[in-house]
Amino acid sequence: MNENIKWFAAAAAVVGLSVGAVLYISRGDKKPPVESPVVAAPKPVEPEEPAVKYPLAEPEQAAPLPSLAESDPPARSALEGLIGKPSVEQFIVTTDLVRHVVVTIDNLTAEKVAERIKPLKATPGRFAVAGAEDAPTLDPANYERYKPLMQMVRTLDTKQLVATYRQNYKVFQEAYESLGHPPQYFNDRVIEVIDHLLATPDVPDPITLAQPNVQFEYADPKLESRSAGQKALIRIGSENARVVKDKLRELRAELAQGV
């Protein structure tokens, strides 16, 4: 089982740091048809623009937003203002942060998330296994390793996070479109992923494991078949998962308010 627990926290902590203005889709004014003595060919049907389910109110921009390629320094500065410089240095990988946040969030519903795109640093300590050699279980001692990160998530100012997200949203929309999703709306995807994570079941201890190869996995096929994000939430233990889910609910309530 990979050391990839960071992903779920990206949805809780870094989603709010993602940054927001409404994606402006210009429909343009339709010009009246030009009269012609001949029968005009029918106009091609233009594809309908996708509906935006959860639009974000457009903020007043005090200064032009940086391009995606130039977003690392302002993103780090925004993070330091939200969680403090020590927490940024302890938890966050600030290189190519915006793109990694977007890709990670988009992949949380998939089976795997690539380690190279993680927006959070590795959790200190080693993965611990309890139980007999032929019947291993997830050691609850693992849950303590995530307490500092849970404290950071718990104390995040949700309204300030969302305000920062809205203020810089266009940069994250640009990163999302660069994945091949245009003109889909990133905030809609964020809400979708949050709902997916909130649907993670609460699995009581002991959680049985299997080791078919080098890495451990959940022995229960139903758990092992879940997404990377849901498996991560199960792996950190019920108490820590509640902290994350509480923050996700707060974020969803703010992000789904619309204009």
Does residue 62 belong to any structural domain of this protein? yes
Contact between residue 254 and residue 247 where contact means Cβ atoms under 8 Å apart: no
* Binned average pLDDT, 10 residues per bin, the chain of 259 residues: 41 38 23 39 53 86 81 89 90 91 93 78 89 94 93 92 90 93 90 97 96 92 95 94 96 84
Kind of pairing between the strands at 217-218 and 135-138: unpaired
Does residue 29 belong to any structural domain of this protein? no
Model pLDDT, residue 61: 65
Does residue 103 belong to any structural domain of this protein? yes
Model pLDDT, residue 3: 42
Does residue 80 belong to any structural domain of this protein? yes
Model pLDDT, residue 245: 96
Does residue 38 belong to any structural domain of this protein? no
Domains identified in the chain, total number = 1
Structural domain span for residue 83? 6-23+54-126+141-204+229-255
Does residue 210 belong to any structural domain of this protein? no
Report pTM: 0.79
